[in-house]
Structure 1
Amino acid sequence: MKIGGSPVTHATVGQPYSFTPEAQANGGTVAFSVENRPEWATFDTVTGTLSGTPTAKGQYANIVITVSDGVSQAALPPFTIEVIAPDEQAPPPSGPVPAPTPGAVTLQWSAPTQSVGGEALTDLAGYRIHYGKTEGALTHSIDVPTVGTSTFMVENLEPGTYYFAVRAYTSSGEQSALSNVLAVEVG
């Protein structure tokens, strides 16, 4: 029994949040459970999806998702979701643009220069790429902690359709909304 995936650890008030772990069972039926579920979220015991729309900012700590096949079980390490208000965000970078590379996707985006409030953006710390095989469940994330970078290659992807979005984050931990989601076929 195995469970994996990188939980999305930031959310924004009024914007949907979703995370679905990946599980490998030794056979039979599996069931998921969650400890310390945020009150704004629902949990699907069949898929392990934690989703919902936060209504207030705050931190929701020590969330643990477990999968069991009735014989053995596995759990993700505890994680925290920090919910921020929309006006605390840096603006989102423009959507990623794919560049063709077999087994990989190169994403490109434009760096934001102003905060949502119109002030000069002085504490941009990097970008977070979210991706997955379902548009509504971008379950993987990669941090790109380099401000001067506006491209990144995601490698070792199996063939299929992947969905990507990018967000900016600041040195104080605030982050923008996700960019538009882009579908890319990997051959």
Structure 2
Amino acid sequence: MKHFIFDCDDVLLDWVGGFRDFLVGIGHAPAEPRPRDWSMAEWIGIEDAATLRLIEVFNSSPAFGQLKPYDDALEMVRQLKDEGHTLTVLTSCSDDPNIVDLRVKNLRDCFGDVFPRVICLPLGQSKSQWLEVLRPGIWIEDNYKNALIGQAAGHKTFILRRPHNRKHEIGAHRAFVVNPHEIGDDMVTWIDTLAEVL
């Protein structure tokens, strides 16, 4: 049996979709359906500090606890659970107990009681220490930086292609073509759906 470690937002649950609905509701409708960069300031059209504040407000709201699961995540988690694998969630949404409760309930409502451990770190905090503790495993992320940290910690690492991380794959490919010794993420596997992990 193997240990699968999942990031949550935009891997298991559609955080961007929920946040976009929240933005529309307060009159900050983004021009595009999804951000094309990890920093969402340009997508929303406001400064970084104001963007971070909106993220904090959204993550504290009831809507954060009602995010929709990705269909491929539902299928994969069900299959892994049926096969007896260990499943862990490692997310940097917040360590505020109320927000943690929203996250855990949302996961349970969508996937059932399949994650014996849901680790919630402060918003934006590095996952490096926990990735060291949880190794070896299979790490699934959408954040390029966290994917590289997982790979460096010894995990088999997959990164889900999302509009906000596409530039990293393109940039990594260019660096590899020019000088393969300048890139350290050749063991990170880019995927379009979670089914590819199986």
Q: Which has the higher contact order (CA 8 A, sep 6+)?
A: 2
The structure with more helix, counted as a fraction of residues: 2
Give TM-score scaled by structure 2 length.
0.24
Give TM-score scaled by structure 1 length.
0.25
